[in-house]
């Protein structure tokens, strides 16, 4: 992980959050207003973050957006800090628990709820089956206005079921952009977590979406959904 100052870390975090919300490069003026600092000070800090490979300028006169390394820095820092809101826990648990007598129904409901709450494509595995929900949400993201990016994402999805069949994951994993084990050029983030079930030693729930994510929210929702499934299957 890159060594940056506490203030630079806070600025990077705000760039990640603002870009996740707007899909627009973040300007020094926005950050100056947020932090109560001069634009010159913010520009100097953004320059340091750019030199560290954590943000970049997509085109002249634009603001900055995070790189894959910038997202990784952010995720490493927040992974043990956030907690899921009570309302979100209740929504997930109630929906999944309502179908506890139907295993396939509970799995499908988990994927549907996770997709609805994150705005990503969600997936869940049960034995040799993989359930997907929200592909239209995935391809409606602005990142996929580029047809070549759609092709890369489609190749990722074509290979996903085979990868899941042989995956061996024992805790939450976040694969960002080039870290992706299935298709490095896909421009996608995959967040996946394991849950215990009597049907398979390798039961997973997760999301696939662009690297531009509200990572705090999505990490917590994936974790909450896996816990809801685990509770249903332990009853």
Q: Where in the chain is CATH 1.10.10.10?
A: 6-78
- Residue 34 CA to chain centroid, in angstroms? 24
Residue that has been written with the tokens 């990016």 in this structure? 149
- pLDDT (tens digit, 9 = 90+) per residue, 150-188? 888 888 888 998 999 888 898 899 999 999 888 877 789
61 conformational bin, left if phi > 0, alpha if psi -120 to 50, beta if neither: left
Q: Which of 70, 95, 84 is nearest to 193 (CA)?
A: 84
Across 131-141, average pLDDT: 91
**pLDDT value, residue 97:** 67
**pLDDT value, residue 119:** 92
Q: Which of 149, 133, 146, 107 is nearest to 208 (CA)?
A: 133
Across 33-158, where does the E strand assignment appear?
55-56, 65-66, 121-126, 129-133
The mean pLDDT of the chain is 87
Q: Which of 34, 131, 116, 20 is nearest to 71 (CA)?
A: 20
Q: How many residues does the chain have?
A: 235
Across 91-107, average pLDDT: 70
- pLDDT (tens digit, 9 = 90+) per residue, 1-16? 678 999 999 999 999 9
Across 119-142, average pLDDT: 90
**pLDDT value, residue 165:** 86
Whole-angstrom distance, CA of residue 47 vs CA of residue 49? 5
**pLDDT value, residue 209:** 94
Three-state SS at 123: strand
**pLDDT value, residue 106:** 82
Q: Which CATH superfamily is domain 86-234 in?
A: GAF domain (3.30.450.40)
**pLDDT value, residue 145:** 85
Higher pLDDT: 149 or 34? It is 34
Q: Which two tokens stand for residue 38?
A: 């001069």
Q: Where in the chain is CATH 3.30.450.40?
A: 86-234
Q: What is the CATH number of domain 6-78?
A: 1.10.10.10
Contact 7, 37 (CB under 8 A): no
Higher pLDDT: 228 or 67? It is 67
């Amino acid at each position: 992980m890159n060594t940056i100052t506490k203030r630079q870390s806070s600025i990077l975090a705000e760039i990640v959050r603002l870009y996740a919300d707007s899909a627009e490069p973040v300007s020094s003026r926005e950050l100056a207003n947020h932090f109560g600092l001069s634009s010159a000070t913010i520009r100097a800090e953004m320059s340091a973050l750019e030199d560290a490979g954590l943000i970049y300028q997509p085109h002249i006169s634009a603001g900055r957006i995070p790189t894959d390394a910038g997202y990784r820095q952010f995720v490493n820092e927040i992974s043990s800090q956030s907690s899921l809101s009570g309302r979100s826990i209740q929504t997930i648990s109630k929906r999944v628990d309502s179908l506890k007598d139907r295993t396939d129904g509970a799995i499908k409901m988990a994927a549907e709820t996770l997709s609805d709450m994150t705005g990503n494509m969600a997936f869940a595995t049960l034995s040799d089956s993989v359930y997907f929900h929200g592909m239209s949400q995935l391809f409606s993201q602005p990142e996929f206005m580029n047809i070549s990016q759609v092709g890369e994402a489609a190749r990722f999805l074509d290979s996903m079921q085979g990868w899941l069949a042989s995956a061996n994951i024992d805790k939450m994993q976040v694969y960002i952009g080039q870290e992706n084990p299935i298709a490095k050029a896909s421009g996608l983030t995959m967040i996946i977590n394991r849950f215990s079930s009597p049907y398979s030693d390798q039961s997973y729930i997760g999301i696939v979406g662009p690297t531009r994510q509200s990572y705090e929210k999505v990490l917590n929702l994936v974790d909450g959904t896996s816990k809801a499934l685990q509770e249903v299957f332990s009853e």
